């Protein structure tokens, strides 16, 4: 008797509604993204330092992050970083251009069919809080998502009590798409999650790039 597999291989399935491919973006993707005062560099498991682990175990640093509910020892963090394939899931370290200090991280999780992505970031070095590092990190990862990876929409979310993050998205020109009330536990009660978005076309206009450079 032949073995029956009820789950066909999706790579061989035709679809009546194929999504258009990105206008640009083809692996391997760049490992370095430069900004004005900071730069992003692809993060690997061997890049995990005691300093990085220290951020994840500093209650003030992870005050608004979901990682505070997860294991944060070296094996778990190494496994987390190793899970990024740098094709659809990316993790970059954030570095200060003036001294090459690793000051934080930023992640992207891209949907390769629908061409949107979720992003999240952390500035772990508290000496850089209030310096614009978070905003420039969001700007650099938006450049990467739209001009390098070829995505068409970026989504960011944060709780309503994370004032700095909401200000960053607003000042970068992201659109507030609304709030989902009473969703995430934060600082003693359930908080609304605020959803922000940016399209590739709008980002190209903000950055002075042509619409031919981005996926519509």
Residue 6: pLDDT over 70: no
Q: Provide φ and ψ at 209, rounded to 5°.
A: -105, 165
Q: Where are the domains of the chain?
A: 30-213
Domain 30-213 top-level CATH class: alpha beta
pTM given for the model: 0.89
Summarised one tens digit per residue, pLDDT across range 50-94 is 999 999 889 898 888 877 767 678 999 999 999 999 999 999 999
The predicted structure's pLDDT at residue 12: 53
């Amino acid at each position: 008797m032949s073995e029956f597999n009820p789950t066909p291989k999706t790579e061989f399935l035709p679809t009546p509604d194929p999504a258009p491919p990105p206008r640009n973006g083809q692996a391997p993707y760049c490992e370095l993204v430069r900004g004005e005062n900071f730069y992003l560099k692809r993060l690997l498991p061997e890049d995990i330092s005691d300093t990085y682990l220290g951020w994840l175990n500093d209650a003030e640093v992870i005050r608004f992050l979901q990682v505070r509910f997860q294991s944060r020892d070296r094996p778990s963090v190494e496994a987390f970083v190793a899970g990024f394939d740098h094709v659809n899931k990316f993790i970059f370290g954030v570095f200060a251009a003036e001294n090459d200090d690793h000051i934080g991280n930023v992640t992207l999780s891209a949907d390769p069919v629908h061409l949107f992505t979720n992003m999240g970031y952390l500035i772990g070095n508290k000496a850089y809080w209030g310096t614009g590092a978070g905003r420039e990190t969001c700007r650099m990862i938006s450049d990467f998502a739209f001009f390098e990876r070829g995505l068409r929409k970026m989504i960011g979310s944060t709780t309503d009590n994370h004032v700095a993050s909401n200000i960053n998205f607003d000042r970068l020109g992201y659109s507030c798409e609304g709030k989902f009330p009473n969703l995430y536990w934060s600082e003693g009660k359930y908080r609304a999650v605020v959803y922000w978005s940016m399209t590739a076309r709008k980002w190209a206009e903000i950055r002075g790039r042509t619409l031919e450079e981005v996926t519509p």
